[in-house]
Amino acid sequence: MLKLLVVDDSGVMRRLIARLLKNLDQEVFLVGSAADGEEALSSARRTQPNLITLDLTMPNMDGLETVPLLSRDHPNARILVISALADKATCIRALQLGAHGFLTKPVSEERLINAMNGLIEQLEP
């Protein structure tokens, strides 16, 4: 069973991502959602997700602070950053810190599904 943790300070975004799960190539269950990095770390410890979608601009602990901690604690999980920050430097930095993919908001359903399916393929069976 594949497990997804959604991290975004916008509830609208969290629900949008959750609605797309039914369109993925494999069955993925939403096991947690978090509105900032601190909540994300706590939720990930409890739920042990395989997939994590992560916003960058969030209160308390932002996404760039959170990526290396999630990556360290959950080395087998795939992390997809979904952020409004559209400059190349931020994308490169997120990937260097441990993210496995980067999508710029606003994101279409098709781009999001393709990106998540791509990360699912990378997961070890």
Partner 1 sequence: MNDQQLTAFATTARDYFKAQGLPPAEIGNPYLMDLAEPVVYHYTGLIGINGSFSGCIYYTAPKAMLSHLLVSLGDLDSGEDTILDLVGEVANVLSGNVRRVLGENFLITPPLALKGEPEHLRTPMGMRPYVVPIRWKSYHAALVVCIEADHRPG
x/- string (CB under 8 A) for partner 1, residues 39-68?
A: ------------------xxx---------
Does position 106 bind partner 1 by CB under 8 A?
A: yes
Of 125, 97, 119, 122, nearest in space to 17 by CA: 119
Which residues lie below 8 Å from residue 55, measured CB to CB, with a gap of 6+? 7, 8, 9, 10, 13, 63, 81, 82, 83
Partners of residue 83 on adjacent β-strands? 104
Shortest distance, CB of residue 66 to partner 1, whole angstroms? 14
Does position 108 bind partner 1 by CB under 8 A?
A: yes
**Site for partner 1 (CB under 8 A): which residue of 50, 53, 66, 90?**
90
Token pair for 39: 């909540």
The length of the chain in residues reads 125
Piece of 4-12, 21-29, 41-49, 67-75 that binds partner 1 (CB under 8 A): 4-12
The residue ranges that bind partner 1 (CB under 8 A) are 9-13, 15-16, 19, 57-59, 83-87, 89-90, 104-109
